[in-house]
């Protein structure tokens, strides 16, 4: 779905710039979400304590990009750590007493906002201005079927199938191992964790976002019981170049078939990028699936997951977005990846190009995936499609 945003940019010198001006003046694209607020707050406070230096307004920008339809993002205070006006006044005074922050820092901040900076196909924020028709639709030959245009989306909803293991988002007070899981999040006090239920093969697990200047993810084994404690830390080795990342945090976690976890991760290297990783609990190993971008109609979302059976899952994600008008974008291409016992690391069965539309909704019915899409390339006259793809050769019983 195409999405319009309204934005307000607050530079350290007090200047305001619009989105397109920022795109022209900046040479980096970085993004963050709600859990970056502590990191941003630390940056702002440190800048006041350092010796005098001038900031370059085109390089050091605090950006609050507000989704026009998001009720919880309607207040600027929620994006500027409850200090929107105070920060602007401090930035003006800071010109005479703060030093230049290390590197080029352009932080897009608000709950669930993210830059279109996926690695594969997108090439960063400024891929918006590239050819939007360059990626064709491709069906994996192993599927043995073609994408078929249909006249209507099925009226019968697909059955909701839950994964064998449950992942639950929780709040964490403190820093592990001296930390506790709590039911309610408190802004500025708690951080986000994802708790994975225990099985016969492993104890309960928790992936925890650790905020601060060196924001990171920690992985812990938990003790059993209703008030678990952090017992043993596992290493987090997402990528061979992870040592060069300034920070990395989780945007979402989902349980997958075969004792695996899907991790949506932001990482700063040196621009903020987003990627999906697959973690194998049994072998304690990580595999990168793809660099991704947020959904244009929901800045908090980086993937959709549906199960055809407890041991069969379909993953939908996007690797780029296209700008069709000032502050208006749509996602393309869409990728559909199947995970089964025969394909434990997933197999891409469909790459949907712009000409066949951006996915509005989708469902799995009797091992056939149905897609309702819309082609936004002609903004005034978008085209609607219904597609089906028979996956019986892949989703075997």
Q: Structure tokens of 346? A: 């997933």
266 phi, psi to nearest 5 deg: -95, 135
Mean per-residue pLDDT for 379-390?
92
Eight-state DSSP code of residue 119: T
pLDDT of residue 133: 55
pLDDT of residue 363: 95
pLDDT of residue 212: 85
pLDDT of residue 213: 83
Mean per-residue pLDDT for 51-75?
29
From 40, 37, 31, 33, select the one nearest 12 (Cα to Cα).
40
* pTM score, whole prediction: 0.71
Element spanning 21, H or E: helix 19-25
Q: Structure tokens of 355? A: 């000409």
Q: Compare 44 and 364 and report the one with higher pLDDT.
A: 364
Mean per-residue pLDDT for 94-103?
36
From 26, 58, 19, 73, select the one nearest 327 (Cα to Cα).
19
pLDDT of residue 269: 87
As a whole number of angstroms, the distance between CA 98 and CA 136 comes to 50
- pLDDT class for 124, splitting at 50, 70, 90? very low
What average pLDDT does the structure give for the chain?
74
pLDDT of residue 368: 96
Contacts of 56-59 with C-beta under 8 Å, sequence gap 24+, read 56/100, 57/11, 57/12, 57/13, 57/15, 57/17, 58/11, 58/17, 58/22, 58/25, 58/26, 59/26, 59/104, 59/105, 59/106
Is 50 exceeded by the pLDDT of residue 89? Answer: no
Tens of pLDDT, residues 245-254: 999 999 999 9
């Amino acid at each position: 779905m195409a999405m319009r945003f309204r934005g307000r940019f607050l530079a350290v010198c007090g200047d305001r710039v619009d989105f397109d001006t920022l795109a022209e003046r900046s040479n980096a694209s970085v993004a963050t979400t709600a859990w970056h607020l502590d990191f941003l707050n630390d940056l702002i406070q440190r800048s006041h304590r350092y010796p005098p230096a001038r900031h370059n307004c085109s390089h050091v920008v605090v950006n609050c990009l507000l989704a026009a339809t998001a009720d919880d993002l309607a207040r600027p205070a929620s994006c500027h750590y409850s200090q929107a006006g105070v920060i602007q006044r401090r930035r003006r005074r800071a010109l005479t007493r703060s030093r230049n922050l290390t590197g080029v820092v352009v932080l897009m901040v608000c709950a669930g906002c993210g830059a279109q900076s996926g690695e594969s196909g997108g090439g960063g924020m400024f891929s918006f201005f590239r050819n939007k028709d360059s990626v064709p639709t491709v069906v994996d030959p192993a599927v043995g079927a073609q994408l078929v245009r249909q006249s209507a989306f099925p009226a019968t909803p697909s059955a909701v199938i839950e994964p064998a293991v449950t992942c639950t988002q929780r709040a964490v007070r403190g820093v592990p191992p001296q930390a506790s899981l709590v039911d309610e999040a408190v802004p500025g006090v708690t951080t986000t964790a994802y708790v994975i239920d225990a099985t016969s093969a492993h104890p309960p697990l928790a992936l925890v976002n650790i905020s601060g200047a060196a924001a990171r993810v920690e992985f812990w084994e938990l003790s059993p019981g209703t008030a678990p404690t952090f017992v043993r830390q596992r290493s987090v080795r997402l990528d061979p170049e992870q040592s060069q990342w300034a920070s990395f945090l989780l945007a979402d976690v989902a349980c997958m078939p075969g004792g695996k976890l899907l991790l949506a991760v932001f990482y700063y290297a040196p621009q903020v990028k987003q990627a999906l990783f697959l973690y194998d609990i049994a072998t304690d190993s990580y595999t990168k699936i793809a660099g991704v971008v947020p959904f244009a109609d929901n800045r908090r979302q980086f993937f959709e997951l549906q199960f055809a059976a407890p041991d069969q899952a379909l993953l939908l994600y996007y690797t780029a977005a296209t700008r069709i008008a000032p502050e208006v974008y749509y996602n393309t291409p869409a990728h559909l990846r199947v995970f089964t016992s025969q394909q434990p690391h997933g197999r891409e069965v469909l790459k949907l190009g712009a000409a066949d539309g951006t996915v509005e909704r989708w469902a799995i019915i009797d091992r056939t995936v149905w897609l309702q899409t819309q082609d936004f390339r002609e903004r005034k006259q978008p085209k609607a499609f219904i597609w089906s793809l028979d996956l019986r050769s892949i989703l075997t019983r």
